[in-house]
Structure 1
Amino acid sequence: MVDYEVTVYTGDRLNSTTLNPVHIKLVGTDGESERMWLRSLVIFSGSVSTYSVSCPNSLGQLVLIELDKRQFFLLPNDAWFPDKVEIKSPERDIYTFPIYCWINDSETHRFREGKALRIFDESNSLGQHARKQELRQRSVDYGWNFYYSGLPYTIKADGPTSLPNELQFSFTKTTEFAFTTVTGLAELQLKGLDDNRENWESLDNINEMLRFKRTVVSDYVQEHWKEDEFFAYQFLNGVHPTLIQRCKTLPKNFPVTDDMVFISDGSNLSQELKEGNIYLCDYKNLDGFPANTIEGIQQYLMAPLVLLHKRPDDKLMPIAIQLKQTPAEDNPIFLPTDSTYDWLIAKIFVRSADFSEHQINTHLLRTHLLAEVFVVSLLRNVPMVHPLYKLLIPHTRYTLHINELGRIRLMGPIGVFTKFAGSGGETLMKIMVSSLSSITYRSLCLPDDIADRDMQDLPNFHYRDDGLQLWNIIFKYVQGVIQYYYKSDDEIQLDSELQTWIWDIFKYGFLSQPQTGIPQGFTTVSELIKFATMLVFTSSCQHAAVNSGQYDYGGWMPNTPATLQRPPPTAKGTTSEATMLQTLPPINVTVQGMATTWLLSRETSDFVPLGHYPEDHFSEEIPRQLQKEFKVELDRLSITINNRNKDLEIPYTYLDPKKVENSVAI
């Protein structure tokens, strides 16, 4: 007889304890053990329990284990969450079997040994069979769902609670993150104002709402939101830093002339265009879409063009705003020299358009929905034993759950966005369809996007500076892991699971549109490295950049109104403070927006920062060492960013690695 020492690690999470009897079977290249009961009355959360499994002869190389949990007499059929199983063989070899999933039925579950194997590495028939069986079941558990014509497919599910348990929020996150505006209203002490449909009587009344939940940045916004310098600053380091681009030639539909704008130091617009000191924000993606109707009142959504100038002191300042795409007499070009309220209302319409473009395209589509495509394709097509699965699975945590909630609580018929945003309802879907058709692979890869927007050298662009450093650190880590497992381009081409994964993303995420530049397959190692880097960056850093500051910049509503209830002025000299207050959203719409952005900007206690890997999916030493080096580099960058922020009037914290979550989880 020979003995195998079996150590079972149960997850240290709420409700992972089980009273049900658990059985294990060891399967190796030379045989298998009997199914053995792990003799414990209770397997507790966080417990580490060791057992002995005896066999007549050695099982050879262990390939997999089988676990099952059966209901015991009158005891409840409760779920169990094992983290991993470690086995010491009679030959003193150590085998690790990562699990990290809930077992809540009486079925037999098979788990592979932790060493990563590509499909063409599977020389053992047991492993080949287990691999096929796993993917067959995953194709059932993780189906594609046609959500809306022209949009990426989603997970096939009937709400978040229908998802497999390991994809759902933990009890802790569920408790802390009650995704309802009622919770937000209560926390902000605004309950009772959510039914008040009156307009604001003054800005001081709006300011009263901020007294309960304030941040350093929200206070700054409230004080400086009217200022041109701060208006321009937000295009670089607010929650929407991806629209601004250098402008060398004015768009034909934006007829700003030298005579209109004042340029200091004796220069003019034409000269500044040539010297590369002019920048453009163009909201053409919003053009032609009807605004929402909120509580019976027609709303207004513009598609403005904004021209900005970098002065010799490196400050960026707005110099012209046109609120509609087509030039006309009733579509004046507003200038800083216009009356105070003409210019301020023009900026308010821009900020409201920025809310819609940011939330729909940059935030919802380009992070949440694309991350969902990445997750579903991974779960459908890549088995747990594959190195790509081990690399990417930490960056999928909670994504499907939060998106299912979003489709109900934000985008659905009773969702906050549908009921209270000027671009909500059917317009939201149409804008997203238009946005998807304009997405390119290069725009998802930060170094390419910065180059294409010609934004490499504009000073004080902290999103760019921090983001590029993060991209390079992620790239180095991803490159190390992938090159450890793939030594040649031929191996990439031989990996059919890898090819199916990227084809699924191209087909269901980008609707088989070749003009996007999204790979349809991989032929080289470098192609896989770049795509995996983009995926990790999008699911962590990019989402943090466009999500975390929502309350900072939107808590003071006039700076980022979710909707506007009067049309823009068609002639100069027709505005006043009263006009502005009538244009801004009413009290109930304001408080609903505040409650939602407050909830979406919060960090829960089970937050997992970028570079932290509480689950051990890799068992080989080199990938594990690469993870440690990855975290060290992120920690160094965090120190650098915090030192820089000490000297900034407005600290830019959203890409501090310690504040970037590993996945789209909120």
Structure 2
Amino acid sequence: MSLDIYVPRDEQFGHLKMSDFLTFSLKFTVQSLFPAFKALFDNTPNEFDSFEDVLELYEGGIKLPEGPLLKALIDSIPLEILKDVFHSDGEGLFKFPTPQVIQEDKTAWSTDEEFGREMLAGINPVLITRLQEFPPKSNLDPNIYGNQNSTITRAQIEDKLDGLTVDEAIKANMLFILNHHDIVMPYWRRINVTTNTKTYASRTLLFLQDNGTLKPLAIELSLPHPDGDQFGTVSKVYTPSDQGVESSIWQLAKAYAVVNDSGIHELVSHWLNTHAVIEPFVIATNRQLSVLHPIHKLLLPHFRDTMNINALARQLLINSDGIIELTFFPSKYSMEMSAVAYKDWIFPEQALPADLMKRGVAVEDLNYPHDIRFLIQDYPYAVDGLKVWSAIKSWVTEYCNFYYKSDDTVQKDSELQVWWKELREEGHGDKKDEPWWSKMQTRQELIESCTITIWIASALHAAVNFGQYPYAGYLVNRPSLSRMFMPEPGSPEYEELKTNPDKVFLKTTVPPLQTLLEISVLEVLSTHASDTLYLGQRDSPEWTKDQEPILDFERVGKKLSDIEDQIMQMNSDHQKWKNRSGPAKIPYTLLFPTSEEGLTGKGIPNSINI
């Protein structure tokens, strides 16, 4: 069970946490299940033939092949663990829990409404932006990549804008885009030429309807010009259809867009923007702030287990030839893509209000709660997130104002100043010269910095992590790689699309071996341990001897409890808030502060501990 990567002793798993369960289950999946799955598909046809085949993983189970590998596998694992953790009967039959996205309706995932809703309430609700110019433009250097601007035309979408022109829809804040083009295109040749991936760079345009839902208008799939990057792109635009082969083409277009979104979610929204960026805060806090320091006491619960889980991830998930490279479209370029995305990471923009305004989905308005007006009113991640953000900030404000009576006390706190200096210049050393770092000279700078840190470590991570199995456990809904390009008229694949569209979809996006491996890991990563402490909870009621911060903390706990009541109330109003459950009937609970143990699709742990 020991890790090969060094973790300081006081950062190692040391409590129930099911630390043994976590380490064991991940290692078991990678080192035991993976070769067993591989052996299975070495002896049987290597494809799913129908959606029913995929559903059988949950409703019937999958039988591993008889032989010495299976016997060694079963003999090495206590039956109780096989049953409880890996859903096995102890004789080689493995059965996965049914993901939420198909619990109520097995086909709702395929609707355009659910496709749009998951951009606001799914596992990656942090990328959608308001479209402010048409056609969408690229920020890639034209001297290197040529013309990368969108080829979507007004004629292709204006008949779907409820009588508006494109310019009128933009002015009314009704056009939005999920844009994966610029991050994918520079890697396209390496990914598609040197790996088994066959994918596109995508842009998806959506229209905000009067009922609050997003209607997809067009998906643009782009390839670099065959004569060289400097000649720009070769792009095709696909629009919605529910008739004949065109409807199957549209389903594939949505799948290619989701493949982009799945990889960027895992590598940027999840790993980079939560796990990776918070680790320097953990190290600097332990190195430079005394355990008696008030900021150490404030932040410590939000760093629990993070270094250990990151070390485990580096060993088993994001390592070379690891699970991420095997199951997501960037393949062996995954970590490079994540590292390049870090160049655009800006600490102050991780504050939820700043993020929402940067993406154009909200504007500052002092007449609205929290001084923010949403341009998509029914945006569950933003609505619930802003309430949680406000609760965190009110707690941090009261806490910091108790210990720091003036800006002068911030400036004269030598430990605090050395902590901030190390964090910027060593922890985030690549960013040390960026002008956006605060000077840490005022109470307001201290409050904002601590609030952002706690937000990243708790709510932001919860929003992009604990929905992974509920949504992507059914990989048909969230494919993470594609193995064929869009079928062209006249090709055998196009003819097969006419007669058996489900099989073509599955051959393109859902390889059985990678599917089994990925959903096995996603289940582990989406599960709460028995000893998880959630936002508003501490492991000891006497974490400080100062009574006022304890009373303030009790008040924030009450605020979070009220937020839970509000979430439940909104989730029950299906007529007013259509995006809170949608066609798949999954109530939005990813920012519901507390949870029970297990695979619940809700709960905000204090820290990144899974």
TM (norm. structure 1) is 0.71
Contact 1:299 1:566 in 2 (8 A): yes
Which one of 469, 473, 483 corresponds to residue 555 of structure 1?
473
- Which residue number corresponds to residue 281 of structure 1? 178
If each structure's strand is expressed as a fraction of its own residues, which one has the higher value? 1
Which residue identity does 1:275 align to in structure 2? A
- Deviations along 1:4-33, one digit per CA (max 9) or x if unpaired, are xxxxxxxxxxxxxxxxxxxxxxxxxxxxxx
Contact 2:202 2:221 in 1 (8 A): yes
Structure 1 residues 297 and 454: alpha-carbon distance in aligned structure 2, compared to 1, 3 A threshold: closer
- Which residue number corresponds to residue 358 of structure 1? 265
Kindly indicate whether residue 540 of structure 2 is the aligned counterpart of residue 656 of structure 1: no
Kindly indicate whether residue 572 of structure 2 is the aligned counterpart of residue 646 of structure 1: yes
Name the stretch that deviates more: 337-346 or 476-485. Answer: 337-346
Q: 1:566: how far off?
A: 1.4
Contact 2:223 2:233 in 1 (8 A): no
Contact 1:474 1:533 in 2 (8 A): yes
Structure 1 residues 403 and 169: alpha-carbon distance in aligned structure 2, compared to 1, 3 A threshold: farther
Which residue identity does 2:337 align to in structure 1? I
Name the stretch that deviates more: 198-207 or 362-371. Answer: 198-207
Q: 1:560: how far off?
A: 1.3
Which residue identity does 2:380 align to in structure 1? H
Structure 1 residues 290 and 255: alpha-carbon distance in aligned structure 2, compared to 1, 3 A threshold: closer
| Structure-2 separation of matches of 1:585 and 1:230 | 19
Kindly indicate whether residue 219 of structure 2 is the aligned counterpart of residue 321 of structure 1: yes
Which one of 440, 443, 450 corresponds to residue 522 of structure 1?
440
- Deviations along 1:191-217, one digit per CA (max 9) or x if unpaired, are 646741612211211111122402433
| Structure-1 separation of matches of 2:99 and 2:509 | 23
Name the stretch that deviates more: 560-569 or 187-196. Answer: 187-196
Contact 2:259 2:480 in 1 (8 A): yes
- Deviations along 1:554-608, one digit per CA (max 9) or x if unpaired, are 0111221121111345679974224323212321111001101111000110111
Kindly indicate whether residue 221 of structure 2 is the aligned counterpart of residue 303 of structure 1: no
Contact 1:360 1:432 in 2 (8 A): yes
Structure 1 residues 181 and 209: alpha-carbon distance in aligned structure 2, compared to 1, 3 A threshold: farther
1:24-173 correspondence to structure 2 within 5 Å:
159=4, 162-165=7-10, 167-173=12-18
Kindly indicate whether residue 150 of structure 2 is the aligned counterpart of residue 266 of structure 1: no
1:502-521 correspondence to structure 2 within 5 Å:
502-513=420-431, 518-519=436-437, 521=439
| Structure-1 separation of matches of 2:280 and 2:533 | 21
Structure 1 residues 342 and 536: alpha-carbon distance in aligned structure 2, compared to 1, 3 A threshold: same
Which one of 162, 165, 176 corresponds to residue 21 of structure 2?
176
1:170-249 correspondence to structure 2 within 5 Å:
170-181=15-26, 183=28, 192=37, 195-196=40-41, 198-211=46-59, 212-220=96-104, 222-249=106-133
| Structure-1 separation of matches of 2:305 and 2:587 | 29
- Which residue number corresponds to residue 441 of structure 1? 347
Q: Secondary structure at the match of 1:317?
A: strand
- Which residue number corresponds to residue 336 of structure 1? 240
- Which residue number corresponds to residue 452 of structure 1? 358
Structure 1 residues 329 and 563: alpha-carbon distance in aligned structure 2, compared to 1, 3 A threshold: closer
What RMSD, in angstroms, separates the aligned Cα atoms of the two structures? Answer: 2.9
Kindly indicate whether residue 524 of structure 2 is the aligned counterpart of residue 628 of structure 1: no
| Structure-2 separation of matches of 1:552 and 1:221 | 13
Contact 1:179 1:599 in 2 (8 A): no
| Structure-1 separation of matches of 2:263 and 2:350 | 19
Q: Secondary structure at the match of 1:304?
A: strand
Q: Secondary structure at the match of 1:281?
A: strand
Which residue identity does 1:605 align to in structure 2? S
Structure with the greater alpha carbon radius of gyration: 1
- Which residue number corresponds to residue 14 of structure 1? none
1:388-467 correspondence to structure 2 within 5 Å:
388-425=295-332, 427-455=333-361, 456-467=374-385
5+ unaligned residues in a row in structure 2: which ranges?
A: 60-95, 138-148, 226-231, 362-373, 575-580, 595-602
| Structure-2 separation of matches of 1:194 and 1:599 | 22
Q: 1:263: how far off?
A: 2.0
Q: 1:325: how far off?
A: 6.9
- Deviations along 1:63-119, one digit per CA (max 9) or x if unpaired, are xxxxxxxxxxxxxxxxxxxxxxxxxxxxxxxxxxxxxxxxxxxxxxxxxxxxxxxxx
Q: 1:297: how far off?
A: 5.9
5+ unaligned residues in a row in structure 1: which ranges?
A: 1-156
Q: Secondary structure at the match of 2:534?
A: coil
Q: Secondary structure at the match of 2:55?
A: helix
Contact 2:198 2:483 in 1 (8 A): yes
Give the number of equivalent residue pairs.
509
Q: 1:424: how far off?
A: 3.1
| Structure-2 separation of matches of 1:218 and 1:538 | 30
Q: Secondary structure at the match of 2:222?
A: coil
Structure 1 residues 517 and 465: alpha-carbon distance in aligned structure 2, compared to 1, 3 A threshold: farther
Q: Secondary structure at the match of 1:655?
A: coil
| Structure-2 separation of matches of 1:159 and 1:381 | 26
- Percent identity between matched residues is 26
Q: Which aligned runs of 4 or more in structure 1 are off by greater than 3 angstroms?
A: 157-162, 178-195, 215-218, 290-294, 325-330, 514-518, 568-575
1:559-570 correspondence to structure 2 within 5 Å:
559-569=477-487
Kindly indicate whether residue 515 of structure 2 is the aligned counterpart of residue 590 of structure 1: yes
| Structure-2 separation of matches of 1:663 and 1:594 | 23
Contact 2:202 2:219 in 1 (8 A): yes
Q: Secondary structure at the match of 1:260?
A: helix
Q: 1:413: how far off?
A: 2.8
Q: Secondary structure at the match of 1:319?
A: strand
Which residue identity does 1:546 align to in structure 2? V
Q: Secondary structure at the match of 2:484?
A: coil
TM (norm. structure 2) is 0.78
